[in-house]
Homo-oligomer: A and B are copies of this chain.
């Protein structure tokens, strides 16, 4: 049987899956100081760039459904990083606003990307290579998410 393609080393998804987890782990020491998980950090990235937006808009940017985002954001509200407010215009929508505490956390976060890059870079994985990877994956992400949206 021609099963060469079933070998772990020939899989495409497996390295993406494992590198994703390895990078999340690399974030941990930095995020721990702020009491954040990686998905929570992502929500803050969105809000720091664009405060007072709806749940659906956040989900759209992070490719997360409400069944993931809803409890995640509620935990962040409990941590007093943000506030949930139902829109007056459209009572279905919930808008998310950063609290002062949530805004302030940005200062702590500013040095993270560079620190992380230093952690991730090695002799064998150069900055150029990482940037190339990032661009390819960004392109792919756009295409795949659109594709999966179309399917339903």
Quick check: A22 and B144 within 8 Å, CB to CB? yes
Cα–Cα, bound, A1→B133 (Å): 27
Cα–Cα, bound, A83→B10 (Å): 26
Interface of A is mostly: helix
Cα–Cα, bound, A138→B151 (Å): 30
Q: Tell yes or no: A2 within 8 A of B by CB.
A: yes
Quick check: B122 and A133 within 8 Å, CB to CB? no
Classify chain A's interface size. Answer: 35 or more
Of A23-31, A69-77, A84-92, A93-101, the segment with at least 4 beta carbons within 8 Å of chain B is A23-31
Chain B residues positioned under 8 Å from A110 (CB to CB) = 1-3, 5-6
Interface residues of A (CB under 8 A from B): 1-3, 5-27, 38, 42, 45-46, 48-49, 61-63, 106-107, 109-110, 112-114, 116-117, 120, 122, 124-125, 129-130, 132-134, 136-141, 143-145, 147-148
